[in-house]
Chain A
Amino acid sequence: MTELRGLQLSLSEFRERGVAVVAVSPDSVERNLGVVERLGLDFPILSDAGLALTRAFGLEHPGAGPEGATVPRPATFIVRNGAVGWRDLTDNWRVRPRPETILAALTRLGVSAR
């Protein structure tokens, strides 16, 4: 949740560069709506309850969810020109990339403020 809060706080800096922020969770639409409302997010959370996108990205973490469910590992991607331009697959689920790290990666990819 801290990660989503951090992205919300930096959202204007992503928008200045014309970059959309989109989160993906294995939770239901209703639960994602609850998170968006509680944290006051201005970006969407997509529901990947069937893990189709998680599998397509190769991010399955078996047994890490409630009652041994498979959930995605925490991961952050920059999608540019329809492909993965940058990614962060943390080896420690406590530690997520900070907004400034993602913004620096965008700069290196040539995505600057318009």
Chain B
Amino acid sequence: MSEAQHNRGLWLGPLIAVLGVASYFTLIVRWPTLSDFPWLNLAILGGAVAASARALPRAWSRGGAARRAAAVAGLSLSSLCTVILVYYCFFESYGVPDAASALPTGEPVPALTLSSHLDEPVDLAQLARGDVVLVFYRGHW
């Protein structure tokens, strides 16, 4: 077994880490069961950090300065990817204002008229005579 094969974690760790964080934003967000709590991506990133960490002592015992530097860079990159996902999912996305000002249950729905995507007027008061699921979202920027 060559040295490169023996220490695959050196490059495989950070590669998996980058895929682990990029896939969350590009692919996984389509499936709420996988994205509401990002357990799949956390597992991938955990594996990536473990692989990068295991490559470190190997690089130290058998590699030269370049290999050691690569191992440190790899572990840093894997850790950074993990921090990005954890920060986004468990800190940044909780930045929603207090709900105190929101219309409470039992309050009548305001009577306003808005334009539909077909530029037709929609009267909320008329709509509210039936049962409606009204979904506010932040827009497609």
Measured between alpha carbons, how far is A29 from B66 in the docked complex, in Å? 56
- Contacting residues, chain A, for B89 (C-beta < 8 A): 94
| Contact status A33-B97, CB under 8 Å | no
How many whole Å from A33's CB to the nearest CB in chain B? 4
| Contact status B131-A17, CB under 8 Å | yes
Cβ of B1 under 8 Å from chain A: no
Sample (7) of A-B pairs whose CB atoms are under 8 Å apart: A22-B127, A54-B136, A71-B139, A78-B132, A79-B127, A94-B36, A98-B32
Q: Could you give, for residues 83-102 of chain A, a 1 whenever the CB lies within 8 Å of some chain B CB and a 0 otherwise?
A: 11111011111111010001
Q: Could you give, for residues 18-47 of chain A, a 1 whenever the CB lies within 8 Å of some chain B CB and a 0 otherwise?
A: 111111111101011111100000001111
* Contact with A21, one of B94, B128, B133, B141 (Cβ below 8 angstroms): B133
| Shortest 3 CB-CB contacts between residues of A and residues of B | A58-B101, A56-B110, A32-B117
A residues lining the B interface (CB < 8 Å): 1-7, 14, 17-27, 29, 31-36, 44-48, 52-54, 56-62, 64-66, 71-80, 82-87, 89-96, 98, 102, 106, 111
Cβ of B129 under 8 Å from chain A: yes
Cβ of B84 under 8 Å from chain A: no
| Contact status A47-B114, CB under 8 Å | yes
Q: Smallest CB-CB separation from A58: which chain B residue?
A: B101
- Contacting residues, chain B, for A91 (C-beta < 8 A): 94, 96, 99
- Contacting residues, chain B, for A77 (C-beta < 8 A): 103, 109, 132-136
Q: Which of A79, A83, A91 has the most CB of B within 10 A?
A: A79
- Contacting residues, chain A, for B32 (C-beta < 8 A): 2, 6, 95-96, 98
| Contact status B96-A94, CB under 8 Å | no
Known contacts A75-B102, A90-B96; is-contact A82 B128 (Cβ 8 Å):
yes
* Contact with B109, one of A1, A61, A84 (Cβ below 8 angstroms): A84
How many whole Å from B130's CB to the nearest CB in chain A? 6
- Contacting residues, chain A, for B139 (C-beta < 8 A): 25-27, 31, 65, 71
